[in-house]
Each structure stands twice: as C-alpha cells, then as structure tokens.
Structure 1
C-alpha cells in the first residue's frame, strides 16, 4: 500500500460529454453533502462526502482495481480536492470538469430520490453566508465602531480559502441538518456496494 503524501497515481479530468459516453464503464463517486446529492446526482453515482473520503479509501482502492473512478461535486472544486487525496493514496481518479452544474447544463439527466428537496450548491451557500456576514459587519460598525473587523476576518478567510483550496465555512455548512438530507449518507452501505 502506498504511503500517504506520496503521489503515485495520476488524476485526470473528464468533460460532461466524456463522462456520459463512458458512464457504464466508470464508478462515479459524488463527494457533495448528502443533501446536495439527494437534490440531484449523476445516475449511478455513489455518495461519499468529501469529509468522509479517508474512511472510504480501502473500498475506493478495491473499486479502482476493477475499473476507473470518476469523482463529481457541484462545480469541480471539491472533486479536484478528492482526486488529489486519492492520488496521494495511490488511487487514480478523474474529476468531472464543472461538476454536476456542467453535467446538467449539457442536458444530462440526474437522479433524485422521491420526495427529496433541492438544496443549494455548497459554493452558493458559502457566498450567501460570507456576503451576509460582511454586510452585517459593515452595517453594525455604524452603531458599534470596530465591528468592521468581523467583515475583515470573513474577507481574510475567503482569501485563505482560495489560496489553500479548502473551505472551513463549507465544511461547517455541510454539517447542518438541511445539508444532510432526509436520510444522511449511509457510508457503510455505499462502501459495501463499492467492494462488490
């Protein structure tokens, strides 16, 4: 087994058209929150939220031994992060360029469990919360001088998020009940399916 932090696998990228034409040959992993996944996912995709990817490495290694993996998220950012983590563990995977947004924009179908409600994509949720915190910090600074530093801290966090390609706010939002869906990710069932 490869040692962590040793990139022994190569990650690649697929367009929505390439994924569609190879969908039957690929094992698709959706790394979004269970709520995002339930609101519409690539047909046949398995949900393994990014924050639980390390737990899934043995099953993903088994699945990659039988065929190629494709990793999907909303826009492609989280799937790139997942592919990097997989490559460091010696598991090759391809990311879907543009994520499910590109998939649906190309006119491809999504599966949605009956009764599932739509959840905003995580990047949209982060923009709403960050923008709200900045606006509230600026407005409250008019009444209580010094609160503008809340806005400055949010701005600094967004810069750090972009530079490190991580998102603490997204991780926190992903843990909220509405992002967990009506039935949260049953990781054990997903991992068992991947080992077959």
Structure 2
C-alpha cells in the first residue's frame, strides 16, 4: 500500500473560503445586462489639450515639402534639355504634368506592381494611372526629367547629388523648419553592450 504525502492531498477550503464559494453565482446562471456606463472619474483628472483646428489635406502637407515652384523649375529644365538635345518629338511639358508624374510615382510605392507597364495592362490596370496620363507620355516625361541645366554643371564639381540637389535642399529646408522636440525618453534598449550585440540584432 502506497502512502501519500500530505503535500499531494487536496487542500480543503477554510470556513471563510467555503462561505465565499457558496455566494458565487454559477457560470451558467450569469446574464449580461447592457446599460449605460456612468463615468465616475472627475473631469479635473484630464488636463485640457490644445488641438490645432486646422486640418490640412494630404496634398497640402506634401506641398510643404515639395512646393509648386519646384515643379515649375523641373518643367523649365526638362524643356531646356529637350531643346539642346534636339528632341523634336518631345512635346513641351508643363508644371502640371510634372505634378501628376510625381504623384503617379508616389502611387507606385503604394500599389507595388513589379513593373511600371503593369499599371496600364488591360486586366489589371489602375484608373489612377490610365485616367491621368497616357502610357507613352508617362515614360517620355520620366526619361527626360531634369532638375538642373546640365550644360551649366562644372566638370570639376564634386557634388555627387548635384543633379537632384534642388529637391534635396528643398525637402531638407522644410525638415529644418520643423519644431524640435523638447522632451526625450531614453530606455535601456538604446544602450547595447558589445557582448549582447548579435549579428541579426540590428
């Protein structure tokens, strides 16, 4: 005969616990009642939050970083490039076309088709592309896109970004105008010791 230790015997509830268990409603008898929730927390607990009533559209926010003047320069440089390259077949462009071209390129990052021509394929075309710019015109503007006058670039220039410097500086200027955060929070996750830095941890 095997004797069981007291450690393996079920613990009997005390008198107070037994009384408590008797007062618990059985699960099958529980019924949920829908009623209005009354907030008992004082409004004084919540500090007032200053909300800027000016809610701009996505285009307005975009134009803060890429102003319309930039598209006018792109238009002038593209037409100038077509002139000294003797591209007679290239129809003169407009700043509006450059805006549409920019928007369509941004949209390609959203839809994620692997090939630009797929956006205009018969069965999988996207109206955003087919209704705003013809396929041939899209590639024509894309292939002749310029931000600077190439003939004015010095052969001794060491600026690797000179051909896109205009848009780089424009966006950078807007970023520098943004208000800086005054409160920062640092956690121990920001500080890794060399022995804890695994090859795939970064």
Could you tell me the TM-score, scaled by structure 1's length? 0.25
The structure number with the bigger radius of gyration is 2
Higher relative contact order (CA 8 A, sep 6+): 1
Greater fraction of residues in strand: 1
TM-score, length-normalised on structure 2?
Answer: 0.24
